[in-house]
Each structure stands twice: as structure tokens, then as C-alpha cells.
A and B are shown apart, each in its own frame.
Chain A
Amino acid sequence: MDLLLTLNTLMLLTLATLLTPIIFPMLSDNLKNTPTTITNTVKTAFLISLLPMTIFIYSGSESLISLWEWKYIMNFKIPISLKMDFYSLTFFPIALFVSWSILQFATWYMASDPHITKFFTYLLLFLIAMLILIAANNLFILFIGWEGVGIMSFLLISWWHGRAEANTAALQAVLYNRVGDVGLILCMAWLASSMNTWEIQQLTSPHQTPTLPLLGLILAATGKSAQFGLHPWLPAAMEGPTPVSALLHSSTMVVAGIFLLIRTHPLLSTNQTALTLCLCLGALSTLFAATCALTQNDIKKIIAFSTSSQLGLMMVTIGLNLPQLAFLHISTHAFFKAMLFLCSGSIIHSLNGEQDIRKMGGLQKMLPTTTSCLTIGNLALMGTPFLAGFYSKDQIIESLSTSYLNTWALVLTLLATSFTAVYTIRMTVLVQAGFVRIPPLTPMNENNPAVTSPITRLALGSITAGFFITSYILPTKTPPMTMPMPIKLTALIVTILGIAIALELSKLTQTLILTKQTHFSNFSASLGYFNPLTHRLTSTSLLAGGQNIASHLIDLSWYKLIGPEGLASSQQTASKLATTLHSGSIKAYLSSFALSILIILTSTY
């Protein structure tokens, strides 16, 4: 049996299955989509995509197919090429599994929405764009997927478009992503001019790659994956419905930037400056996001900052020249982060829209499945040994501790790991444990299987995914095998310290002492003052300046200064200068005669 043919066919079949709910209603008159049909489509696509992954695991066969070629100019052709290697073959089933669970959850969460089918169609379009991005072998096709996920993110964040904050958040997402896109286009332009190709397999350079295109790639990843500097859109994106946050802003879209860096890592690995920049940027992002998450009171914002922090950790892994480990973290992170968002969605809906953790408590008895899965997700996030997060996170911290790298980056990442434990425990204690702070008459229940089965499925994934992926896939680089015992246990020690601090702090809050407003608490609660400083300054100056230039200055300059008034004022200055000479004194006139004769004589000399 020709394995490669089967591999290619099945992957194309997966993509085709996902396109059916979009194409078939256009071709027929009475075929309409429903949320259930779209969920079942994604489930079918997931089951089909398991087969290519199994073929890859047992035979190691990768493939690269080129479907059609856009003969742009004579020597630069852009084929539609898809690469079925380890990354795309493994991420397809994971993304489809997570999407299937989220779509099933969304049938309950968005049940009261009048345009629920349009919502599901948007999610499906997003998924297709994301899978195009993952499978792309060509930077052009990747860019198509990149823009696709950006636009769908905009449409989905502003789903409740009557709300001004949602529109602002969607605008923020689009603008920050656009800034990142400039970097990607810069890199594509450089590649087209120097290597005459956009194909990923041709992106190797024997010598050191110049830093400028790599800076462009890093800018693209900063924009899409919310690293420090272009990060505010990710917490703001929580204005969208919870299924959107679970799919886009935790598992799939935000990892697109990191995935780009993984795909182009042959270019990055030759340039140590770019790698160090990735490392430092990732370390700063992970600490900054973890600091901001410490004082948040909205459950979705805590999980959003947690996502941002983990993305920083993935960037740190890229900076250590370990792209496969970054991909492993992407895969395991998708499971438990999506599950955390779904649990939070279930809690929010049960409490009739309450998102503030100060008004939740003691939910362990009232929503047992949800809160148990929340605990499992939080434990996986903290890197509890042998859950999913452990396999990737612990390996990253081990590699960090045993490499030659910037000391401050190491310190920041370890600090961020302990902060992860702190805000996770804080969230768990305030949501699940302790006294009940919800309104008394809340008819909450978990009876709907559309709620419990996705969450339990993802819980199973977050327990076993790390184990399965590491057992079946061999690492491409030798992991560090020997290290002293304290270094090996660094992640665990740091996490336990974080848990201890968190429990101590929660004891403080339960004794009902008002926390004092210190500089640090204000800094953390206001997200580092980054948002007001940058948003107000840049938008005021650009908008007001643009308005002034476009309406006032252009009128002023073209109609007045260059035209009539400018001419008139220059004439006036000239004539004012000339009238000083018309004084009437003979001496002045004689001196002007003599001067002009002198000048004529000397000029002809």
C-alpha cells in the first residue's frame, strides 16, 4: 500500500471535509447548516486526521505536495504547496480535537443567540484558515492563513458588536496584528529578493542570516503571539464569547506567531543575535503577563494573561534553539488552556454572566465536574509531574537551567513559573474553595452533556497528551541528560514555592484585611500602565495630527502659502526691503552706482 498517497489523500480529505459546510449550502437551495452539522463535520475531520498522524508515527513518512502554481513572473513561481511533516501532521488532530470539543460546548453556550449558525460558520472559517497556516509550505500560503485568522479574530471578538468595548477590543486586535504583519511582509520581501523563493524547505542559509529579516519575523511573532510590546490586544480580546477565547486566543491563533518561528527556525538558528532577542523578549513577556495576572479579578482575564505568559515561555524555547520543544508545549498547552476556558465558560453561564472571582466561591460542590476539570487544568498548567504540561514545561526549564544564556532571562522565567503557580492557586481558591459569595437563587446545573463531555474529553487529553506525544515522537536534538538534582527539580521547587506563597496570601485575604495600595499592586493591577500610556499617546497624536495635516495644513500650504498668500507675503518682504533704498539721498544713489560698476568690473576680470 502506498503510504504516501494515503497520507496525502487523507490530509486533503480532512481539509475538504471542513469545507463542505461552506460550499454545499451555496450549491443547493434547501440545504442549511446547523450548529450540530458543523460540530459533526469537525468531529469527522478529526477522526480522518488521526489516520495520517498514525501513518507518520509508524512509518516516519513525511510529504510535501504542490497543487497548482501561480506563475507570477518568469523565475519566481508561487505554488500552493502543503507540507505534511511532524508539525502539521500532529497539530491537525490536536487542533481538530480541541475545536470539536469547543464547538460542542458552544452549542450550549450560544444556544440563546439568534445568529448561532453564523457564529459556527465563523468558527469554521477560522479553523480552515488556521489549518491552511499550519499545513503551508510556502510563506505566501502561510500569509493567507495568517490574514485569515486575523480577520476571523476581528469578526469573532466583536460578535456582540452592540457593545462598544467589544468593538474597541476587536479594533485593537486587528491593529496590533497589522503591526506584526509588517514584519512578516518585510521578511517575505527580503526572502524573495535574496533567495528567490518563499518555500520553507529552501530557507536554509549556510552563512549567518542577516538580522533584518529575522527581526521582521520576530516582529510578526510579537504581534500575533502577544509578546511584550504588542500584547494589549490579548486581554482585551476576552470581550468575545468564551468559545472564541477558548479556540482563538488560547490554543490556535496565538500560537501562529510561534509556529512561524518554528517553521523558519533554520534561518533563525544561524543568527545568535536573533535567538538572544527571542529569549529576552520571551522572558520579559512571560514575567510581565504573570505579574499582571496576579491582581486580576476577572476569571477570563486571568486565563488570558496565563496564555500570554505561556506564549512568552514558548518564545523563550525558540530562543534556546529548541523548536520541537516549543511545538510540544503548543500541543500540550492547547489541551489544558482550552479546557480552562471551557470550564470558566460553564461557570460564567451558570452564574448568569458573573465573571468576577470575588463573587464566586465554593463552587466545588455545586459544579463538581467543571471544577474538578478546572483543577486538573490548573495542575497541568503549573507543570504537575506526569500531567500534560509537565512533559513540555519541565523539559523547557531543564534546558534553560543547563544552557549558556542570559542570566536575567533565566531568573525571569523561573520567577514567572512561580507566579504561574501563585495566580493559578489564587484562582482555584477564590472560585472553588472557601465560602460561597454568589447570589442565593442561582439555578446552576451540569445536566447538559454538551457541557460535561467536551470538558471531560479535554481533561483526558490534558492528562495523557504529553505522555503520548513524547512516547511516540523522537526528539531531534539531544535533551540534556545529566544535571545535578537541584537543577532537575528547579521547576518543581519554584512551583511549590509559588503555591506556598499563594496559600499564605489567601489566608491573609480570608482574615478580611483590606490590602494596601502599594506601587507594585497598582503596577500589576493596571497592567504595567502600558495600555493608557501607549494607546492614548499614539492614537491622539496620529488621529489629531492626521486630521490637522489632511484638512488644515494642506489647505493652508497649497491654497495659501504656495499660492496667493505666499506670493503676496514674499512680494511684501521684497518690496519692504527695496523701499529702504528709495530714501531720496543722492549719496545713497551715487554709492549704488559705484557699487554696481565695481561688481561689473570685477566679474569680467
Chain B
Amino acid sequence: SEMSKDMLPGPYPRTPEERAAAAKKYNMRVEDYQPYPDDGLGYGDYPMLPNKSQYERDPWYQWDQPDMRHNWGEPMHWDFDMYIRNRVDTSPTVVPWHTMRKHFLIFFSTMLIMFGLGAIYPSYRPVGPKQYPFNDLYLEKGGDPNKKPPTVIHYEI
């Protein structure tokens, strides 16, 4: 059978009685019930549950639906399909977020800077300028055959 009209989500609750009725509809306590702010995005009276993913729920507890770690009748988050165990994980990390980000950015920027330095000072085997015979190819380069060419010696004794 389909859900009756009063089980479906409704408009934003304005009076305390409406809030209590909405909390009862969503199977929550009135103290826990907190709707999304009414800023025109169309959430209505759907409760704003904390943005915690299914990873953070106890894996050993006997949930009614073990794969989703969810019990029957429990209110589901608006973005529940984002918080299943195949998607976003919001569980607390061992190392705090800003430390992780800082260390990773230090690593990455160090690598980039060192690659830049390595491009400015590349490594290569020792090389020298090329040495040409016949007085640095004087005649081939268009030198005057009648004149004496300047002697070029490529060695030292």
C-alpha cells in the first residue's frame, strides 16, 4: 500500500505544534528534530541529520539492514546515497585534516621546486667543445688560401 498523505514530507514547520507533529512523523524526538533552514531551497520539514557517513556506525552491532548499517524506522539523511559505504567516508582520520593537507602540500611543492631546480641544473656526462682539424677548418670556412691561417692547438704539452 502507498504512503498516506500525512506520512509524506510537508512544508516547513512554523509553529511548535507543527514541529512536534513533524518530529513524530519522522520518528524522532522533538529535542532532536531540527529542520533545514527555510531559505528557499525546498527542503520542507525534512530533518537535518548530522553529516556522518555509514563508515562511522558500529560495524559489529546487529543492524536491521547490515549493509547500510541502518535500522527500520530510523530517519535517513537527505544525502544518504552519498554516505553509504561505497561513497564518501567522513570517519575521523588518525592525523587531523589540516596536518594532512599541510604535509601533503609541503611534499608536493618540494617536489615541484626540486624538479624546477633539476631542470635548471641538469645532470650530464662531462662534455667539451667539439674540436675540428686543419686549424679549425680554416680553408673550409672560407679562409684566404694565400694567407697563413692562425694556428689552433687542441692540446697542451
Q: How many chain A residues touch the partner (CB < 8 A)? A: 42
Do B88 and A164 have beta carbons less than 8 Å apart? Answer: no
Of the listed stretches A102-110, A113-121, A402-410, name the one at the interface; the rest are far from the partner chain: A402-410
Do B122 and A407 have beta carbons less than 8 Å apart? Answer: yes
Question: Is B103 an interface residue when CB atoms closer than 8 A count as contact?
Answer: yes
Of the listed stretches A45-53, A366-374, A469-477, A535-543, name the one at the interface; the rest are far from the partner chain: A535-543
Question: Is A571 an interface residue when CB atoms closer than 8 A count as contact?
Answer: no
CB distance from B104 to the nearest CB of A (A): 5
Of the listed stretches A250-258, A312-320, A375-383, A523-531, name the one at the interface; the rest are far from the partner chain: A523-531
- Give the residue of B79, B101, B123 whose beta carbon is less than 8 angstroms from that of A533: B101
User: If the complex has contacts A529-B100, A529-B101, are A536 and B41 also in contact, measured as CB distance less than 8 A?
Assistant: no
Do A543 and B115 have beta carbons less than 8 Å apart? Answer: no
CB distance from A362 to the nearest CB of B (A): 31
Question: Is A77 an interface residue when CB atoms closer than 8 A count as contact?
Answer: no
- Which A residues are CB-close (under 8 A) to B43? 552
Q: Taking CB as reference atom, which chain B residue is nearest A406?
A: B118
Most buried by B among A167, A522, A529: A529
Instruction: Return the CB mask of A22-38 against B: 1 if under 8 Å, else 0.
Output: 00000000000000000
Question: Is A385 an interface residue when CB atoms closer than 8 A count as contact?
Answer: no
Question: Is A207 an interface residue when CB atoms closer than 8 A count as contact?
Answer: no
Do A530 and B104 have beta carbons less than 8 Å apart? Answer: yes
- Which B residues are CB-close (under 8 A) to A165? 85
- Which A residues are CB-close (under 8 A) to B121? 407
- Give the residue of A404, A410, A523, A556 whose beta carbon is less than 8 angstroms from that of B40: A556
CB distance from A128 to the nearest CB of B (A): 29
Do A536 and B82 have beta carbons less than 8 Å apart? Answer: no
Most buried by A among B79, B118, B122, B124: B118
Do A552 and B90 have beta carbons less than 8 Å apart? Answer: no
User: If the complex has contacts A532-B93, A556-B40, are A164 and B85 also in contact, measured as CB distance less than 8 A?
Assistant: yes
Q: Taking CB as reference atom, which chain B residue is nearest A547?
A: B79
- Which B residues are CB-close (under 8 A) to A528? 104, 107
- Which A residues are CB-close (under 8 A) to B111? 284, 408
CB distance from B46 to the nearest CB of A (A): 12
Question: Is B86 an interface residue when CB atoms closer than 8 A count as contact?
Answer: yes
Instruction: Return the CB mask of B83-116 against A: 1 if under 8 Å, else 0.
Output: 0011111100111000011011001000100110
- Bound form: Cα–Cα A310–B67 in Å: 37
Question: Is A168 an interface residue when CB atoms closer than 8 A count as contact?
Answer: yes
Instruction: Return the CB mask of A498-528 against B: 1 if under 8 Å, else 0.
Output: 0000000000000000000001001100101
Do B119 and A406 have beta carbons less than 8 Å apart? Answer: yes
Question: Is B42 an interface residue when CB atoms closer than 8 A count as contact?
Answer: yes
- Which B residues are CB-close (under 8 A) to A171? 86
CB distance from B15 to the nearest CB of A (A): 24
- Which B residues are CB-close (under 8 A) to A539? 82, 87-88
- Which A residues are CB-close (under 8 A) to B8? none
- Which B residues are CB-close (under 8 A) to A543? 79, 81-82, 87-88
CB distance from A158 to the nearest CB of B (A): 10
- Bound form: Cα–Cα A243–B93 in Å: 32
- Give the residue of A406, A522, A523, A544 whose beta carbon is less than 8 angstroms from that of B115: A406
Do A540 and B88 have beta carbons less than 8 Å apart? Answer: yes
Do B86 and A164 have beta carbons less than 8 Å apart? Answer: yes
- Which B residues are CB-close (under 8 A) to A402? 125
CB distance from B84 to the nearest CB of A (A): 8
Do A405 and B123 have beta carbons less than 8 Å apart? Answer: yes
Q: Taking CB as reference atom, which chain A residue is nearest B90?
A: A536
- Which A residues are CB-close (under 8 A) to B90? 536
- Which A residues are CB-close (under 8 A) to B89? 532, 535-536
Question: Is A280 an interface residue when CB atoms closer than 8 A count as contact?
Answer: yes
Do A168 and B114 have beta carbons less than 8 Å apart? Answer: no
- Bound form: Cα–Cα A123–B87 in Å: 27
- Bound form: Cα–Cα A402–B123 in Å: 8
- Bound form: Cα–Cα A405–B124 in Å: 7
Do B118 and A408 have beta carbons less than 8 Å apart? Answer: yes
- Which B residues are CB-close (under 8 A) to A532? 89, 93, 100
Q: How many chain B residues touch the partner (CB < 8 A)? A: 33
CB distance from A561 to the nearest CB of B (A): 9
- Which A residues are CB-close (under 8 A) to B123? 404-407, 410
Question: Is B117 an interface residue when CB atoms closer than 8 A count as contact?
Answer: yes
Q: Taking CB as reference atom, which chain B residue is nearest A560?
A: B40
- Bound form: Cα–Cα A555–B42 in Å: 8
Instruction: Return the CB mask of A275-311 against B: 1 if under 8 Å, else 0.
Output: 0100010001000000000000000000000000000
Question: Is A483 an interface residue when CB atoms closer than 8 A count as contact?
Answer: yes
- Give the residue of B79, B85, B103, B117 whose beta carbon is less than 8 angstroms from that of A519: B103
Do B67 and A409 have beta carbons less than 8 Å apart? Answer: no
Do B85 and A168 have beta carbons less than 8 Å apart? Answer: yes
- Bound form: Cα–Cα A553–B39 in Å: 12
- Which A residues are CB-close (under 8 A) to B119? 276, 406
CB distance from B127 to the nearest CB of A (A): 9
Q: Taking CB as reference atom, which chain A residue is nearest B102?
A: A529
- Bound form: Cα–Cα A548–B114 in Å: 41
CB distance from A16 to the nearest CB of B (A): 39
User: If the complex has contacts A164-B86, A536-B89, are A526 and B95 also in contact, measured as CB distance less than 8 A?
Assistant: yes
Do B82 and A540 have beta carbons less than 8 Å apart? Answer: yes
- Bound form: Cα–Cα A483–B117 in Å: 25
- Give the residue of A403, A530, A544 whose beta carbon is less than 8 angstroms from that of B82: A544
- Bound form: Cα–Cα A210–B104 in Å: 32
Most buried by B among A164, A408, A523, A539: A408
- Which B residues are CB-close (under 8 A) to A523? 103, 107
- Which A residues are CB-close (under 8 A) to B117? 407-408
Instruction: Return the CB mask of B31-44 against A: 1 if under 8 Å, else 0.
Output: 00000000011110
CB distance from A112 to the nearest CB of B (A): 23
Q: Which A residues, 531 to 582, have Cβ-Cβ distances below 8 Å to chain B?
A: 532-533, 535-536, 539-540, 543-544, 547-548, 551-553, 555-556, 560
Do A556 and B85 have beta carbons less than 8 Å apart? Answer: no
Give 28 CB contacts A-B under 8 Å: A164-B67, A164-B86, A167-B86, A168-B86, A280-B115, A284-B111, A404-B123, A405-B122, A405-B124, A406-B115, A407-B117, A408-B111, A483-B125, A522-B95, A523-B107, A526-B94, A526-B95, A528-B107, A533-B104, A539-B87, A543-B87, A543-B88, A547-B82, A552-B41, A552-B42, A553-B41, A556-B40, A556-B42
Q: List the interface of chain A (C-beta within 8 A of B).
A: 164-165, 167-168, 171, 276, 280, 284, 402-411, 483, 519, 522-523, 526, 528-530, 532-533, 535-536, 539-540, 543-544, 547-548, 551-553, 555-556, 560
